[in-house]
A and B are shown apart, each in its own frame.
Chain A
Amino acid sequence: MATMETKAAGGIGDAVLRKEDRKFVTGEGRYVDDLRLPGMLHAVFVRSPFGHAKINGIDTSKAEALPGVHRVLTHATLPAETGVLSASNPPGSDVRQPEQPLLARDEVRYVGEPVAIVIADDRYIAKDGADLVLVDYDPLPVVCDAEAALADGAPLVHSEYPDNAAATISHETDGFAEAMQGAARTVELRVVNQRVTPMPMETRGCIGDWQQATGEVTLYTSTQVAHFVRTFVSIVCGTSEAKVRVVTPDVGGGFGAKLNTYREEFAVCSASRAVGVPIKWIEDRSENAVATIHGRDQVQYYTAGVDESGKVVALKFDAIQNNGAYHQLLTPSISHLTVFMVPGCYDIQNISIRMRQAFTNTTPTDAYRGAGRPEATHGIERLMDAIADDLGMDAAEVRRVNFIKPEQFPYSSSTGLVYDSGEYDATLDEALRLSDYAGFEARRAASEANGKYRGIGLSTYVEVCGLAPSAVTAAIGIGAPGWEHSTVRLHPTGKATVITGTSPHGQGHATSWSQIVQTELGIPFDDVEVIHGDTAFQPYGLGTYGSRSLAVGGVALYRSLGKVREKAREIAANLLECSVEDLEWTGTSWQVKGSPDRAKTIQELAGAAWAASSMPEGVEPVLEATTFHDPPNFTFPFGTHVCEVEIDPATGRIEIVNYTAVDDCGNVINPLIVDGQVHGGIIQGLGQALYEETVYGEDGQMLTPTLVEYLVPSAADVPEMTLARTTTPSPSNPMGVKGIGEAGTIAASSAIVNAAVDALSGLGVRHLEMPMQPARVWGAIQEAKA
């Protein structure tokens, strides 16, 4: 816990309290719905009530006659150059990119698809107006389940694609078939990774402000990727990218849901252009449930060829991903990330993978915290338990047999990645110790004496994060690079401004980046301001997602600080009348080696560089540096989570009695923030394991459209967690850092399910699907007993 002394420190590694907090605890945070512009009107979207329907006509006259309604726009009247664009085209996958117009033209393909926009004086009137827009629909057959969509004779989501196939990614290593054939035994498992909804507490929202005189457009939007949005607004709205400014105010959570470019963002810009005033749209929660991307929704079939020691000698993975009705920014690439991580932290060199992606009459899926990697981890970790069960081995032991060993790094995986570092036994050992794994059977016996089932489950995960080397994003068909930008600007008074291309929305970059500045440049934490979120003054930044902010953006900052420090050295040498080789860095100043009285602080040098009256030959004024850092590799955080549960046989309710996480995210900038990321990540994984599921009915209706049906866990539903860390610095960057934003979510679900299956294993239960709500667990108990 933070104390007064750690607060005063403020450098790398200190648990410094966040400088962001004060505005949020006083209510001065400024989210998009808090903004108002002169003359601003309010938009409400009319959305499809059908999963699939033909549009025969739209009558807007009644809505337009309502006092306070200014305009109702439809596909016919809302100007746009193109529809929404996907930036994801995995090579060799035969990916299909259906047209996704800003407003539906003649067909709607999921409940919630936007059909019209009502522009009115306020949101109440706009909603009244939306109720008066009459859309003449002819319902069409729907298919929401991905396996059903790929079956013969399924209703077609897009009539031009006669099989609903969206893309297929295939990969097989040489010698796979022989290895599988030679396996002593095979273990099979089907795992469903159910559809979930990101549900940031702030829904999406945006304000479009198109200046009629200049053609400049400003879009205020709740996003993780302001520059992507700017690029796409210019293309979709048909204007110069240089005339588009995207401003990101405070963002109330993202989790991948705001790593996207959405119809509404383009539509408010275009509508503002058409109507001539700024237009605000704020998403309702029930609208968010259908209009913002969903996550996961993947069915996996594993076949593991195993030898008698428990070693996996060959692995076949055949999966189906539900892409939804259209492709959003990265949709086809998300299950590609699953493909990369199929082998997990295990040395499995013979592999065969097929990932079929299907169109269905559902909201598009895309990146949700972990994005493809939780699906891979959940599956392989369930499989490891199934193998242990099959062989009568301990769950920890089967993992040790299969781990990639420390001496194997850098390790070339069978899916084409190079894991840079890892020491998987170390986190496993520590997690087993902290969770008293050895003493579990006594606790199980005690629970049984009380009429409860008790189980313990492991998840030993590795993730690929720090997205991404630009050559890799290009090679896997993502139409965006993976570098990040930083600028460090020293002012004449010695204070510093950092401009970062990352897009924090809860991660505390202003705090962590200030700590890096203090350590690397000697400027005190409180003298550093970190700014972001306005494309008007920032160089291009790629944003915050994929646990990349520190590993890519933080390293970009580190490199800019190095440039500033070296420039300051030249200026110091000139002022101190010595050579640069004669100087040493003290942490806060350049001094002549061994002569503390002959030194210049970084603040003095900032002033001298600004005054520019005594500059060395050929050195430009001002201490400022910019870096565009393209990472040479991903980073690979790993860890072990141990979950212990008790199950009440009368109700099927699972109680998590212990949860231990030992993570290795390399060097840590701020342990307080890292712990916070792990806490939140685990609880999102727990939400999927125990409570959350986005459900469609047979007719394509969304059955979980509000927080009443869709169960985001509350404080009363979750346990205290015990956290610890090991430190294996990443060799892929000079700071030795990795990422930690997604690790908890990636690890948690399988630890919890493995614990529940273990609890019921005495009854013969071998697998449980998520979410493990009481009715499902109770049913499994009854079935096993029958």
Chain B
Amino acid sequence: MGQTITVTVNGTAHTADVEPRTLLVHFLREQLTLTGTHIGCDTSTCGCCTVHLDGEPVLSCSVLAVQADGCAVRTVEGLSEGGELHPIQQAFHENHGLQCGFCTPGMMMTALGVIEQNPQASDDEIREALEGNLCRCTGYQNIVAAVRSAADQMARS
């Protein structure tokens, strides 16, 4: 019934048995207890579960754990290093880009993908790129400011 997979998550290789139907998000949350990645819908619409799979933002609710076999996954828990916040984390904090915090991990992972692909993104381009990540608290204005600020910070460093 189970299938053995090896997934490198935030730099650490994990080998585990999973049911073939297990979603990557459930594998991360339930088996690896990495609960920073959240689930906000069941239709791949909200973006809360966004992680990076081999460097690309993906919805971990729409990937089977077995599909991630042999891949590298980066989650919100893998952003900060040595106790230092990643620029995207720092920017969300400094711009009040979060309120309840539930969408924040997925939002940051998508935003990081945007910045990596288009470091010069305009506000309109940032908004378009974040279209798949819903936030019910902030009205997005401070999120856009945070992403812009993080992009500037990352370009400088």
Contact = CB atoms under 8 A, between A and B. Distances in A.
Interface of A: 1-2, 17-18, 20-31, 33-34, 122, 124, 199-203, 250-253, 255, 284-286, 505-508, 672-673, 675-676, 679-684, 706-708, 712, 714-718, 720-721, 744
Contacts of A31: 35, 38, 102
Which 9 A/B pairs are nearest by Cβ-Cβ distance? A27-B36, A24-B101, A252-B102, A506-B100, A506-B99, A679-B139, A683-B139, A27-B76, A34-B35
Given A200-B136, A253-B136, A17 B94 contact: yes
B96 A27 contact: no
Interface stretch (B42-50, B52-60, B62-70): B42-50
Count class of interface residues, chain B: 35 or more
B100 A253 contact: yes
A388 B157 CA distance: 57
Most chain A beta carbons < 10 A, residue from B21, B108, B135? B135
B105 interface: yes
Contacts of B100: 200-202, 250-253, 505-506
A265 B135 CA distance: 26
B85 interface: yes
B131 interface: yes
A781 to B, nearest CB: 26
Contact of A24 (B80, B104, B132, B142): B104
Interface string B10-23: 00000000010110
Nearest to A712: B134
Contacts, number: 180
A684 B30 CA distance: 33
A506 B141 CA distance: 16
A250 B101 contact: yes
B108 to A, nearest CB: 7
Given A124-B19, A706-B41, A707-B43, A27 B35 contact: yes
B138 A285 contact: no
A201 B141 contact: no
A1 B95 contact: yes
A19 to B, nearest CB: 10
Interface of B: 19, 21-22, 29-30, 34-43, 45-46, 48, 75-77, 79-80, 85, 89, 92-96, 98-105, 108, 123, 126-128, 130-145
A157 to B, nearest CB: 29
Nearest to A26: B80
A202 to B, nearest CB: 4
Given A27-B76, A201-B40, A706-B45, A682 B139 contact: yes
B38 A252 contact: yes
A199 B132 CA distance: 16
Contacts of B141: 679, 720-721
Contact of B144 (A122, A251, A682, A715): A715
A569 to B, nearest CB: 37
Contact of A27 (B19, B37, B92, B134): B37
Contacts of B79: 25-27
A30 B38 CA distance: 11
Nearest to B101: A24
Nearest to B149: A1
13 contacts: A2-B94, A2-B96, A26-B76, A29-B36, A31-B38, A201-B100, A201-B137, A252-B100, A253-B100, A286-B43, A682-B139, A706-B43, A712-B136
A676 B99 contact: yes
Contacts of A255: 136
Q: Which of A23, A506, A721 has most chain B Cβ within 10 Å?
A: A506
Contacts of A250: 100-101
A122 B27 CA distance: 13
Contact of B105 (A27, A30, A682): A27
Q: Which of A33, A681, A682 has the most B CB atoms < 10 Å from its CB?
A: A33
Contacts of B80: 26
A473 to B, nearest CB: 27
Interface centre among A18, A28, A680, A681 (most CB of B within 10 A): A680
B75 to A, nearest CB: 7
B102 A202 contact: yes
Contacts of A717: 131
Given A24-B104, A708-B45, A715-B140, 19 more contacts: A2-B94, A22-B93, A25-B101, A25-B108, A27-B36, A27-B77, A33-B38, A34-B35, A122-B30, A202-B102, A251-B100, A252-B101, A505-B100, A506-B101, A507-B99, A712-B136, A714-B127, A714-B131, A720-B141
B143 A684 contact: no
Most buried by A among B45, B132, B136: B136
A716 B39 contact: no
A66 B83 CA distance: 47
A720 B98 CA distance: 17
B43 A683 contact: no
Given A201-B103, A707-B43, A25 B134 contact: no
B63 to A, nearest CB: 16
A201 B89 CA distance: 19
Contacts of B46: 201, 285, 707
A203 B134 CA distance: 13
B102 A17 contact: no
A673 B96 contact: yes
Contacts of A201: 38, 40, 46, 48, 100, 102-103, 134-137
A25 B109 CA distance: 11
B19 A706 contact: no
Contacts of A672: 96
B99 A680 contact: yes
A747 to B, nearest CB: 13
A57 B21 CA distance: 32
Contact of A715 (B35, B101, B108, B143): B143
B85 A25 contact: yes
Contacts of B143: 715
A716 B143 CA distance: 12
A720 B101 CA distance: 21
A337 B41 CA distance: 32
B92 to A, nearest CB: 5
Contact of B93 (A1, A17, A34, A682): A17
A23 to B, nearest CB: 8
A680 B43 contact: no
Nearest to B48: A201
Q: Which of B100, B103, B123, B132 has the most CB of A within 10 A?
A: B100
B35 A718 contact: no
A505 B144 CA distance: 22
Contacts of B95: 1-2
B45 A680 contact: no
B25 to A, nearest CB: 11
A472 B94 CA distance: 41
A716 B127 contact: yes
A746 to B, nearest CB: 15
Contact of B36 (A1, A28, A505, A681): A28
Given A679-B139, A720-B141, A285 B98 contact: no
A721 B142 CA distance: 11
A744 B141 CA distance: 14
Contacts of B134: 201, 707, 712, 714
A27 to B, nearest CB: 2
B27 to A, nearest CB: 12
Contact of B131 (A18, A682, A683, A715): A715
A283 B39 CA distance: 10
B89 A26 contact: yes
**Of A18, A122, A124, A714, most B-chain CB atoms within 10 Å:** A714
Nearest to B146: A25
B137 A716 contact: no
B140 A683 contact: yes
A680 B93 contact: no
Nearest to A708: B43
B42 A25 contact: no
Nearest to A202: B102
